[in-house]
Amino acid sequence: MRTIVAIMAMVWAAASATAEDIRYTLTPQVENGALNGIAVEMVLTGEADGETVIELPDAWGGKTELWRGISDFRVSGQGLKLDAGASPALKVLRHAPRAALTVRYRVTQMWQGEPAVTGSNEYRPVIRPNYFHLIGWAMMARPKWSLATTATVSFRGMPEGWQLASDLEHGSLSLADVLESISVGGDFRVLKAGTLRVAIRGTWAFTDDDFIKRLQPIIASHHKFWGDQPAPFLVTVMPLQAEVGSMSLGGTGLNDAFAFFATSNVADRQLTRILAHEHLHSWIPRRVGMMPQGDADPLEYWLSEGFTDFYTYRLLVREGMWSVEEASRAYNDVMWDYAFSPVRNAPNAKVAAEFWQERAMNDLPYQRGLLFATLADDRVRRASKGARDLDDIVLAMKRVVDGLGKGAIPPAIRGNFVAWAKESGVDIQDDLARYIEKGETIALPADALAPCGVIETSSVAEFDRGFDGRKTILNNNIVVGVDPNGPAFAAGLRDGMQILSLDLSVGRDSRVPLTYKVRANGVTREISYLPAGKRKVTLQELKLKPMSDEAVRKACAARFAGSG
């Protein structure tokens, strides 16, 4: 569920030598009725000094060596000589000064089969016989120029009967827009509702119309909060293949689109949350400050991802799309994962360095950032005696960026946040040093979400099912991998027993018993146990008040929504 938003600094960087238009043309390559590649043509004027460097796709979104999906690279132009660059992703073109250059290459899929659950989103080009799914960063070559350079993109030769949807189908594009784009074609179903387009393929538990109706109020609520008018926005929906019993969903927010990936059994609550999260990336971080450049980008993911989750929850409650119970459950899920994270206290520099290498490191900025946003919201409310909250800060950050002249460099996102927190009466620097940079455990005040309830702190054992659930499912529910030192073994579960019904989505809290009906030697019996592991951690949980009284419910909803 990562969105890659490192481009802002590059967009405003000075052009190296030129700012001429770049003209791209994308053409599907079909053989015997099946798509097998995308032909890309890039036309540009070479630099005045006779040397133009072309960058191929390389690393993006945790995917590396993307240049391996590029083949048949050819260039034509006056006096041209093509040399290898310092890395496989760089090509050096030597040519007559300001020569007209035409670059051609072919994009193919770098692996076999359909997109599947692998632990990360599939951002690489997907090119199947009956469709394609392309993210600009992963397949567009470009000159090593400013990302503010103007560009045009056209699609040609679409097979008869194919649908096309892209957020490049409008004018006034920059090179940044080209890279921050999503284009799909083939057996997608393309739906329109006002300024929203959805391109969806595959079979889902929801209908296409249901998906649109779920998304529209989310988008409307975001424009309302940020004070912006509706604008064209594209959502692409791609199914993922998965093992029986597994579920996955994720996405990436782009300039005016987001790409959504999920298994067909995606849960209703999770679907709403991920759609809201990704659409909010249209503002956070793009519209509230400049992210660090290059490898330093993950240093501020606590803000770009964690604050996005904070406003996902807040606005879903504010617009009545989530109940207070759903918001409470979402908060408790995060606090649980944060408490049991094996990397909870990793310093920020280590998180940034290992963000794309380890799942726990990938998850931590979301958890840490949401809790830090909650803490900052509480700090501002207390300092202002309830007159202000985090909303005032992020909206002020946006006004600063919106008020800049064309080509002006936005303030660094952290500096913008710190400045407006101080303006609101809170010096947040010490909290940033402790909880973000050093990685100290964030402990929310007991009344941080009052009047909804109390945030209680307790010591809880880690969840331990006591056997290998996934391998057991793949073994037709014949139990595999019982830990002789674990709670399941102590309760009588053994390898070779058959569990009559096994759902791995059931079970998370070591304080709640697991109960299985098992069969062994022709006898069926019930085994029940507490799935408590050896390790214990300090856990915070929101204990929600009873909500039978409507006044209590309204007061709690107002608190979650930021209006109480």
Which pLDDT band, with edges at 50, 70 and 90, does 15 fall under?
very low
pLDDT at 20: 53
Phi–psi pair at 178, nearest 5 degrees: -60, -45
Please tell me the distance from the alpha carbon of residue 360 to that of residue 181, in angstroms, as a whole number: 28
Q: Residue 96 corresponds to which tokens in the numbers above?
A: 């007559």
CA pseudo-torsion sign 398, 212, 128, 75: negative
pLDDT band for position 370 (cuts 50, 70, 90) = very high
Mean of pLDDT over the chain: 92
**Number of C-alpha atoms within 13 angstroms, CB side, residue 455?**
21
Burial of residue 192 (number of CB atoms within 10 Å: 0-12, 13-18, 19+): exposed
pLDDT number for residue 443? 97
**Residue 3 in this model has a pLDDT that exceeds 50:** no
- The Cα-based distances of 166 to 66, 182, 193 in angstroms read 21, 6, 15
At 386-395, the pLDDT tens digits run: 999 999 999 9
Residue 299 has pLDDT above 60, yes or no: yes
Cβ density class 517-555: b for 16+ within 10 Å, e for less:
ebeeeeeeeebebbbbbeeebebbbbebbebeeeebbeb
Q: Which residue has the tokens 């390559």?
A: 29
Q: How far is CA 434 from CA 442, 532, 555, in A?
A: 9, 31, 32
3-state secondary structure 11-40: HCCCCCCCCCCEEEEEEEEEECCEEEEEEE
Residues 4, 132: contact at Cβ < 8 Å? Answer: no
Q: Encoding tokens for residue 415?
A: 């500096």
Residue 58 pLDDT greater than 70, yes or no: yes
For residue 296, the SS3 value is: helix
Give the C-alpha separation, 270 to 286, whole Å.
24
Task: State what percent of residues in the chain have pLDDT above 70.
Answer: 96
**pLDDT level of residue 5 (50, 70, 90 thresholds):** very low
pLDDT-derived band at 246 (thresholds 50, 70, 90) equals: confident
User: pTM, whole model, 2 decimals?
Assistant: 0.85
Which CA distances in Å does 386 have to 307, 316, 425?
20, 21, 12
Residue 331 and residue 325: Cα distance in Å, rounded? Answer: 10
Q: What is the pLDDT of residue 12?
A: 41
Pair 189, 201: CB distance under 8 Å:
yes
Cα dist from 329 to 239, 325, 368, 375, 498, whole Å: 27, 6, 17, 18, 33
Q: Is pLDDT above 70 for 48?
A: yes
Across 97-108, average pLDDT: 97
What is the predicted pLDDT for the residue at 6?
43
pLDDT value at 267 more than 80: no
pLDDT at 507: 81
Between the alpha carbon of residue 381 and those of residues 298, 374, 376, 387, 424, the distances in Å are 28, 11, 9, 7, 9
Sheet containing 523-529: order of strands: 498-499, 514-520, 523-529
Q: Are 59 and 88 in contact (CB under 8 A)?
A: no
Q: What percent of the chain has pLDDT over 90?
A: 83
Q: pLDDT, tens digit, for every residue of 212-233?
A: 999 999 999 999 999 999 999 9
Cβ–Cβ < 8 Å for 442, 435: yes
Q: Examine the pLDDT at 1 and tell me if it is beyond 60.
A: no
Least confident of 100-104, 116-120, 367-371: 116-120
With 70 as the cut, is the pLDDT of residue 8 above it?
no
Q: Is residue 4 scored above 60 in pLDDT?
A: no
pLDDT of residue 14 exceeding 90, the answer is no
Q: Is the pLDDT of residue 52 over 50?
A: yes
Confidence band for 172, pLDDT divided at 50, 70 and 90: confident
pLDDT, tens only, 438-458: 999 999 999 999 999 999 999
- What's residue 247's pLDDT? 75
Task: Note the pLDDT of residue 245.
Answer: 66
pLDDT at 10 over 80: no
Predicted local distance difference test score (pLDDT) of residue 564: 55
